[in-house]
Every structure is written in C-alpha cells, then in structure tokens.
Amino acid sequence: MPIGIAVLLFGVSFGLLARSVGMGRVAPIVMSATTFAGSAQFAAASILHAGGTAAAAILAAVLLNVRYAPISISVADLFGGAAPKRLVQSQLIVDESWALAARGGGRFDRDLLLGAGLLLYPCWVGGTALGVLGGGLLGDPARLGLDAAFPALFLALLVPQLAGRHALAAAVAAAAIALALVPVAPPGIPIVASSAACLIGWRRR
C-alpha cells in the first residue's frame, strides 16, 4: 500500500530529526512505538531541541493529539470484546488508517481501520529505527521537502472525503477556523477547534 511507503519515509525523517536533536537512539523508537502519531512526535522533538522543557513538549504533543478523542469516539462502535482488547486495538487508530476507513455518512470500515493500522504501525516504528540508526546519510528532512509531504498526504486522503455538499462545506469551514486560530492559539488547538465545522451537519439535518 502506497501510504505504507509514505509513512515509512516519514518514520525515517522522524528518526533523523530525533537523532539530530539529541534524543538518543532508543527514546525516538520507544516514542514511535507508544505514541504512533507523527505530528505530535515532530512537535515534541522540535521543542526539546529548541531547549524547551519536558512540560512544554508534553503540552504541545498532547494538544496536537486531542483530536484523537473525537476520532476514537467516531469509531467506538466498531470495537467489541473485552476492555483490554479494545484498548490494544484502539492504538491502531491513526489519522491515515482512520481516513482510509471512512465510508461517508459517519460509517467506518472496521477491517480497513485495523488492517491499515497494522500495516502502518511497523512502517512507522521501523522507519524511525532506520532514521535513527542510518542518520546522517539523508541529511536534513526540511531540505528534502519532507515537511510538505505530510500535508500532501493528508490532502490526498481528504479528496475522496469531499463527496457531497456538506462534506465540502465542512472542509472549507474547518480550514478557515484552523487558519484563523493559528496566530492566537497554541499549535493543536486550531485543529481541534476546526472539528466544530461538523455542526454544519447538525443544522441542515
């Protein structure tokens, strides 16, 4: 799956960044294995590099990941069985697997969500390991334009979601909300606030 390759490369670039900012060899890999959410990890690594405190890195990363609360609620009905099993399976939820599994109308494909998550997880963790260990061979991720590759991937995942007037309106409204809040709120908050654009669906129902 092409997204797996992209995620592998992002994992490599996270590993490179983490290594270059002095996170050591083991911590970045542990972080990819437990956090498994690209943007928060990049943010945390950048803050630690800039001399920020652990608290600042934690706050930024957690704010960036708050979106997983509504995301995990949106797919909650797909998870059955005992609580520990649901806890483990829920860790396969990541932006990419969730977007791939979205079937429109608020329905999600369970097999696609878990299958894509299972594929992307080793790509992300393995890519991080490659980046940490092979560091220096590739150079600066920004010089390679990898920071533009992330939004391009999300754009590619967004396009199939734009079927219908409401979806398009929600996307435009969310983009506007996010952009308007960037100058006034810490990173992460604009993304969470943009989910208010979903209310378009409430009024018109």
| Residues between 153 and 172 with contacts to other proteins, criterion CB under 8 A | 153-159, 161-162, 166-168, 170-172
Considering only residues 83 to 102 of the shown chain, the ones binding other proteins according to CB under 8 A are 83, 86-87, 89-91, 93, 95, 98-99, 102
Residue 111 binds other proteins (CB under 8 A)? no
Q: How many residues make contact with other proteins (CB under 8 A)?
A: 106
**Residue 187 Cβ, how far from other proteins at the closest point, in Å?**
7
- Is residue 169 within 8 Å of residue 160, measured between CB atoms? no
Q: Give 197's DSSP letter.
A: G
Residue 72 binds other proteins, judged by CB under 8 A: yes
Binding mask 118-157 for other proteins (x = CB under 8 A): ------------------------xxxxxxxxxxxxxxxx
Residue 110 binds to other proteins (criterion: CB under 8 A) = no
CA distance from start to end of the chain:
36
Please give the single-letter amino acid code of residue 84.
P
The residue (of 130 and 197) whose beta carbon lies closer to other proteins is: 197
Among 12, 16, 17, 23, binds other proteins (CB under 8 A): 23
Q: Does 20 help bind other proteins (rule: CB under 8 A)? A: no
Question: What letter would DSSP give residue 146?
Answer: H
d(Cα 114, Cα 94) in Å, to the nearest integer?
A: 10
HEC profile of 118-130: HHHHHHHHHHHHH
Residue that is written with structure tokens 């979205």 in the block: 102
Cα 104 to the center of its chain, rounded Å: 20
Region near other proteins per CB under 8 A, out of 36-44, 121-129, 130-138: 36-44
- CA dist 140 → 21, 35, 155 (Å): 11, 23, 24
Q: Binding to other proteins by residue 15, rule CB under 8 A?
A: no
